[in-house]
């Protein structure tokens, strides 16, 4: 193997496709897209066609739009979503101050466990979470970003290619609530107007930030808001359901239980706690309370 395999200036016939593949893979990890001007060698191999170097001059390039899920004339990068085997796939950002429950939210969904020891996220951690819906499975590629300021150096790079986001704050800490607007502004500068859900976590504890304040924030920032308790599982599924409905443009979408799904822990919120949270939010939004159990 040539020692200059990672150098794109090398014209060795073995190095060029490998260097392009390495750069393409790195770009794809960051953006979820193929880099502009990348080599066609890998693309032609996937299509079962001939590499460009072996194609006769003037011969037309064959297309295989169906194999990539595109209609004729539609570029792959213009697709609003990519597909894995079984359904649509979306990049989901988790944002918010440290110790607001972002990583716990992911672990609660993946394993059903609630971590008892806090471990700060360093940089960004990536997880895949499949959600079963009435339209079939939906895969969220979750990018769980660090909330501490010392890990903010590459934060904008993590935002690239995101299709939706959740912003967390702690209802027992007013400062984390005050920082929500900054988090929303930062992600919108990079991603544009993507669906965003704001959640006020830890409502199982004595709260400082009331539900009415969360609702006012929702109106000001034009985002969806939910009270949340990762510990007691209160509203645990609602943020993902809201995002799936927005991304798939289906307001009647519902979550469905999978066969053999992990049993839920018995730490469900009391009916009194759930009712009080609903009343607080209803007073703030001036809308009648509806039974949303059918949504789950």
Domain presence at residue 66: no
Q: In whole angstroms, give the CA distance from residue 224 to residue 239.
A: 8
Domain presence at residue 193: yes
Q: What's the pLDDT score for residue 214?
A: 85
Q: What's the pLDDT score for residue 157?
A: 81
Q: What's the pLDDT score for residue 26?
A: 60
Contact 190, 159 (CB under 8 A): yes
Domain presence at residue 236: yes
Q: Which helix (H) or strand (E) holds 136?
A: strand 136-145
Domain presence at residue 9: no
- Pairing between β-strand 87-96 and β-strand 164-170 as defined by DSSP bridges: parallel
Which 3 state secondary structure label does DSSP give 171?
coil
Q: What's the pLDDT score for residue 12?
A: 53
Q: Answer yes or no: is pLDDT of 212 > 80.
A: yes
Question: Averaged over 195-202, what is the pLDDT?
Answer: 96
Q: What percent of the chain has pLDDT over 70?
A: 53
The range of the structural domain enclosing residue 133 comes to: 82-258+268-289
Half-sphere exposure of 129 (CA within 13 A, CB side): 26
Domain presence at residue 280: yes
Task: Say how many domains are in the chain.
Answer: 1
Domain presence at residue 6: no
Residue whose C-alpha is closest to residue 79's, from 93, 68, 67, 87: 68
| CA 190 to mean position of chain CA atoms | 15
- Report the range of poorest mean pLDDT among 32-46, 137-151, 236-250, 275-289: 32-46
For the chain, the C-alpha Rg in angstroms (whole number) is: 23
CATH for 187: 3.40.50.300
What length does the chain have?
A: 296
- Report the range of poorest mean pLDDT among 32-36, 96-100, 232-236, 287-291: 287-291
Q: Answer yes or no: is pLDDT of 277 > 80.
A: no
- pLDDT tens-digit series, residues 133-189: 999 999 999 998 886 554 455 667 889 999 999 999 999 999 999 999 999 999 999
Question: Number of H helices and number of E strands within the chain?
Answer: 10, 7
Residue 40 confidence class, pLDDT cut points 50, 70, 90:
very low
Domain presence at residue 122: yes
Domain presence at residue 136: yes
């Amino acid at each position: 193997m040539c020692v200059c395999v990672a150098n794109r200036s090398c014209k060795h016939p073995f190095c060029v496709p490998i260097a392009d593949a390495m750069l393409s893979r790195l770009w794809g990890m960051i953006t979820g897209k193929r880099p502009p001007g990348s080599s066609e060698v890998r693309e032609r191999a996937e299509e079962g066609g001939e590499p460009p170097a072996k194609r006769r001059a003037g011969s037309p390039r064959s297309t295989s739009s169906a194999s990539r899920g595109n209609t004729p004339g539609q570029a792959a990068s213009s697709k609003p979503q990519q597909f894995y085997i079984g359904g649509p796939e979306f990049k989901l950002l988790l944002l918010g101050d440290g110790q607001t429950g972002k990583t716990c939210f992911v672990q609660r969904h993946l394993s059903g466990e609630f971590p008892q020891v806090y471990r700060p996220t360093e940089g960004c951690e990536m997880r895949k979470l499949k959600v079963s819906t009435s339209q079939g499975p939906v895969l969220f590629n979750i990018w769980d970003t660090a909330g501490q300021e010392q890990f903010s150096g590459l934060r904008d790079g993590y935002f690239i290619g995101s299709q939706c986001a959740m912003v967390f704050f702690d209802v027992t800490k007013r400062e984390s609530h005050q920082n929500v607007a900054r988090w929303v502004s930062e992600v919108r500068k990079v991603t544009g107007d993507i669906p965003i859900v704001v959640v006020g976590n830890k409502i199982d504890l004595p709260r400082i930030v009331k539900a009415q304040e969360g609702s006012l924030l929702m109106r000001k920032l034009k985002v969806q808001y939910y009270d949340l308790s990762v510990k007691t599982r209160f509203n645990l599924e609602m943020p993902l359901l809201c995002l799936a409905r927005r991304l798939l443009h289906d307001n009647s979408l519902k979550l469905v239980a999978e066969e053999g799904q992990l049993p839920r822990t018995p730490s469900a919120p009391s009916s009194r706690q759930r009712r009080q949270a609903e009343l607080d939010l209803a007073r703030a939004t001036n809308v009648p309370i509806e039974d949303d159990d059918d949504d789950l």
